[in-house]
Amino acid sequence: MVGHFQEFEDEYLETLYEFHESDPGGLVKTGVLAKRLGVSPASATEMVQRLSKRGFVSYTPYKGVLLTAFGLEHGQRLKRRHRLAEVMLERIPFVGDAHATACRLEHAIDDDLEVALSKWLGHPETDPSGRPIPPAAGVVAERLASEAPNKERSASDLAQGEGGTIVAMRQSEALHDFGLAPGVRLERTSNGFTMNGSEVLLSNDLLAAVVVDVSA
């Protein structure tokens, strides 16, 4: 389990990654960081010094703080898992504060679950707000590459004449009612879709909940 203090450290690294997204390589003043996090400048400086000692950031007093390569990788991983969680919550669908819930979920997502979520969600590139989902890194990137992620996509993204075999789907009675299940082949035609060769009418909501392997 992740301790509360580590979660607090992670929040700093994730926030610094957000600054990196808008200004790669730019120094972030501790006062600006403190305002973004809603803490006192003294608290922000104390945490930045702690993160610097652990190799996550490079800190120059009176100038600012910058993520090291180690810190950048950590912040990117957290932000990726947070935004994957937001996509998942939208697909469920979830009624509540998706951002706050994703903040909690990101700490519970390990490498195995990140790989599973990436595949189940169809390797999304943006979150529900349109923000880019950072690419996978390290072991997760290697695992996704070995499993040919470019061959998997959401059924809603299939072009006319393109088809694939269902490999993952959001569990839903509606999906099963339509006969959608792993192993079933879907193909987009000029009139809609065929399922194992038979024409069917499927809504975009149902298609978005299905991931197909276009190589199969």
Q: Quick one: tokens of 18? A: 């957000």
Evaluate whether residue 25 is within a structural domain.
yes
Evaluate whether residue 138 is within a structural domain.
yes
Model confidence over 45-70: pLDDT tens digits? Answer: 999 999 999 999 999 999 999 999 99
pLDDT at 1 over 70: no
Q: Residue 17's closest CA among 133, 162, 107, 119?
A: 133
Q: For residues 90 and 216, what is the distance between their CA atoms, to the nearest angstrom?
A: 28
Q: Residue 149's closest CA among 211, 202, 203?
A: 211
Q: Are 179 and 124 in contact (CB under 8 A)?
A: no
Query: Does 161 lie in the same domain as 140?
Result: no
Q: Span 9-35, mean pLDDT?
A: 94
Q: For residues 207 and 194, what is the distance between their CA atoms, to the nearest angstrom?
A: 12
Block residue for tokens 């979920």: 105
Evaluate whether residue 74 is within a structural domain.
no
Query: Does 143 lie in the same domain as 83?
Result: yes
Block residue for tokens 């061959």: 151
Evaluate whether residue 73 is within a structural domain.
no
| Domain endpoint, select from 126, 147, 168 | 147
Model confidence over 160-216: pLDDT tens digits? Answer: 889 988 877 765 656 767 788 778 899 999 888 998 988 888 888 788 878 888 875
Query: Does 121 lie in the same domain as 162?
Result: no
Judged by phi (left if over 0) then psi (alpha if -120 to 50, else beta), residue 22 lies in alpha
Which domain CATH number covers 173? Answer: 2.30.30.90
Model confidence over 92-115: pLDDT tens digits? Answer: 878 899 999 999 999 999 999 999
Q: What is the pTM of this model?
A: 0.70
| Domain endpoint, select from 12, 47, 67 | 67
Evaluate whether residue 176 is within a structural domain.
yes
Evaluate whether residue 121 is within a structural domain.
yes
Average pLDDT, the chain: 87
Count how many domains the chain has: 3
Evaluate whether residue 72 is within a structural domain.
no
DSSP for 33-67?
HHHHHTS-HHHHHHHHHHHHHTTSEEEETTTEEEE
Query: Does 159 lie in the same domain as 134?
Result: no
- Domain ranges, residue 49: 4-67
